[in-house]
Amino acid sequence: MANIPGIPVYKEIGATPAPATGGGADRARVVIVGAGPVGLAMALDLGRRGHEVVVLSRLDFIAHASKAICFSKRSLDILDRLGVGDPALAKGVTWNVGKVYWGEADDPVYQFDMLPVKDQKRPGFINIQQYYIEEYLLDGVMKLPNVEVRWGHRVYGVTSKDDGAELAVTADDGGVYTLEAEWLIACDGARSTVRDLLGLDFEGRVFEDNFLIADIRMKHEMPSERWFWFDPPFNRGKSALMHKQPDDVWRLDFQLGWDIDRAAAIRPENVEPFVKAMLGDVEFEQEWYSVYTFQCRRMARFVHGRTIFAGDSAHLVSPFGARGCNGGFADVDNLGWKLDLVLKGEADEGLIESYNDEAITTADENILNSSRSTDFLTPKSTASQALRDAVLELARDHAFARPFVNSGRLSTAVHYPASGLSTPDTETWTSGVAPGAPVLDAPHGDGWLLDALGDDFVLLTRGWQGEAPAGVRLIEISGLAAERLGLGEGGAALVRPDHYVAARWHTIDPAAVDAALKRAKGGMA
């Protein structure tokens, strides 16, 4: 039996006994609070790098909730690096194209392609239920003897210290204990206990709108695309969204407005008319109905000494744009290698400050985009309503208006043009990937460039086989891969373990590579 009633269960795991501490405190180098997608991915990243990690999960099961379904190419690349991309791809529904409809018209007013650059390993997006992703991450974690997940262990007290944090934990078997961590990573979600206990801020904006999610099961043929409607006949004056998920599950999302009875809205007799109005007289079964509202907010800082926030605990966005969990995976990707270097004594603690900067850059871009989408979806005044409708009306006939249509700007990798870890270009570049941007995938040998990059610093070169600095792997590239990086003969790019370019040269200079590496590890050049 699940330890917390009222939350549907995907997979029972069962409570972990409290550790026998003999009255003293239990210790771990890294403690992660929360075993949602972000906590599990964090544990997997640090665990694969060989660190001792304890994960505390309030639940003793994986929840079966209607949460994330859209996982971006960038997240798939990260899951690949963590060794769990393949099961996600095998299970998920791949899609690249989104179509936006308006009113009763059968033709879209706007459409977009999430993978404009082809010849990459992964598609623009897959749809897959969040609990599958959590399961794959957990499978990865379970293979690591150095990572321990404690199920049914809830944090109820936190003391932040100069050399770490002290947690008060209560286990389902009644055990209560103290856990001392050198580093604490709070991945405990939107209502973060750690954030609250430390009295930290979480500022932002609440949007006055409700959305109904009807996850239903049915046999239905439709291309694997994201379909979005403004003002459709089946939800007049509002919007709707349809996504295909694995297992013949479909997500139908209906905008409801602000003044509604939320409990009534999810009763089957109230949901079913929506479904039938949208799809006609189809046969379907209820998977899960829920209503959500949303907020866009973030903490002022994500790093508080040795306590670090990642995922929903640090930032929240509206779902339009699929930037929540995808944004959380970006945090993991950014923090993993940095904390690894600090734990191994190969970088100064100050490197963690660059996580604060870069993760906030990501969060701000996500919040900006999802706020703008929400403002387009739910105009706040008669004038903004008129402007929105003007865009849709013009988009039907004129290409120039289509870029204004905003049904959600879907998550892509965020760039860090101002990152202090990057060495700015000193030469002129007319193509390629600038410092602070992620490497563009391309075929490489028998496989793919991103797979070859792996978890370490890499020096990508074209036509140069000298020696890379210690701890840096040299990979020679050619063809499309080199072209996409803008590298000519003798050119090179230094790539961070999260696959972001740190520096690049038309003509490689080993001394400059050393300096750029030092800088990318947080030491000034």
Partner 1 sequence: MTGLNTTPNLGTNASADDLYQKLVALHDGLSEADSLRVWAKLVLILANHIGDREVIEQAIVAARPVAAA
Picked from ligand FAD, partner 1, none, the partner binding residue 394 (CB below 5 to 8 A depending on kind) is: partner 1
User: Smaller CB distance to partner 1: residue 110 or 136?
Assistant: 110
Which residues within the stretch 119-178 sit at the binding site for ligand FAD (CB under 6 A)? 130, 154-155
**Which position among 69, 242, 351, 437 is part of the footprint of ligand FAD (CB under 6 A)?**
69
Q: Compare residues 7 and 368 and give the one whose CB is closer to partner 1.
A: 368
Q: How far is CA 256 from each of CA 67, 237, 479, rounded to the nearest angstrom?
A: 18, 10, 51
Single out the residue of 188, 333, 357, 498 in contact with ligand FAD (rule: CB under 6 A): 188
Tell me 350's DSSP state. T
* AA identity, residue 344: K
Shortest Å distance, C-beta 393 to partner 1: 7
Q: Which does 33 bind (CB under 5 to 8 A by kind): ligand FAD, partner 1, none?
A: ligand FAD
507 touches, from partner 1, ligand FAD, none (C-beta below 5 to 8 Å by class): none
Q: Of the listed pieces 67-75, 85-93, 95-103, 501-509, which binds ligand FAD according to CB under 6 A?
A: 67-75
Question: Which of the listed partners (partner 1, ligand FAD, none) does 210 bind, with a CB threshold of 5 to 8 Å by partner kind?
Answer: none
The listed partner (partner 1, ligand FAD, none) that binds 312, CB under 5 to 8 Å by sort, is ligand FAD
State which residue, 389 or 483, has the beta carbon closest to partner 1. Answer: 389
Which stretch, 90-98, 107-115, 325-333, 484-492, contacts ligand FAD (CB under 6 A)?
A: 325-333
Q: Which long-range contacts (CB under 8 A, 24 or more apart) does 349-352 make?
A: 350/522, 351/521, 351/522, 352/303, 352/308
Burial of 477 (0-12, 13-18, 19+ CB in 10 A): buried
Measured in degrees and rounded to the nearest 5, phi and psi for residue 432 equal 95, -165
Contact between 319 and ligand FAD by CB under 6 A: the answer reads yes
Q: Which of residues 200-229 bind ligand FAD (CB under 6 A)?
A: 213
Q: Who contacts 517 (Cβ-Cβ below 8 Å, separation ≥6)? A: 457, 469, 472, 494, 502
Which one of partner 1, ligand FAD, none interacts with residue 383, CB within 5 to 8 A by kind? partner 1
Shortest Å, Cβ 400 to partner 1:
4
Q: Which does 390 bind (CB under 5 to 8 A by kind): ligand FAD, partner 1, none?
A: partner 1
Choose between 124 and 324: whose C-beta lies nearer to ligand FAD: 324
Q: Which does 391 bind (CB under 5 to 8 A by kind): ligand FAD, partner 1, none?
A: partner 1
Strand partners, 227: 99, 242
Q: Which of 123, 328, 486, 497 binds ligand FAD (CB under 6 A)?
A: 328
Q: Which helix (H) or strand (E) holds 197?
A: helix 193-197
Segment near ligand FAD (CB under 6 A); pick from 60-68, 352-360, 453-461, 466-474: 60-68
Q: For residues 29-58, which are near ligand FAD according to CB under 6 A?
A: 33-39, 56-58
Q: What is the largest CA-CA distance in the chain?
A: 74
Tokens of 205: 């904006």
The partner in contact with residue 319, picked from ligand FAD, partner 1, none with C-beta cut-offs of 5 to 8 angstroms by kind, is ligand FAD
Q: Minimum distance between the CB of residue 63 and partner 1, rounded to whole angstroms? A: 44
In whole angstroms, the minimum distance from the beta carbon of 295 to ligand FAD comes to: 11
What is the SS3 string spanning 64-100? CCCCCCEEEHHHHHHHHHCCCHHHHHHHCEEECEEEE
| Angstrom distance (rounded) from CA 138 to CA 142 | 6
User: ∠367-370-375 over CA atoms, to 5°?
Assistant: 120
Q: How far is the CB of 257 from partner 1 (least distance, A)?
A: 18
d(CA 293, CA 213) in angstroms, rounded, equals 11
Question: Cα dist. 466→350, 448, 490, 494, 513 in Å?
Answer: 31, 23, 11, 14, 12
Q: Supply the minimum distance, in Å, between the C-beta of residue 37 and ligand FAD.
A: 5
Tokens (6 digits) for 210: 């409700």
Question: Which residues lie near partner 1 (CB under 8 A)?
Answer: 382-383, 385-387, 389-391, 393-394, 398, 400-401, 404
Render 119-172 in DSSP notation, one character per residue. S-SS-SEEE--HHHHHHHHHHHHHT-TTEEEEETEEEEEEEEETTEEEEEEEET
Q: What DSSP character marks residue 441? A: P
Q: Which residues lie near ligand FAD (CB under 6 A)?
A: 33-39, 56-59, 66-70, 130, 154-155, 187-190, 193, 213, 292, 311-312, 319, 322, 324-326, 328
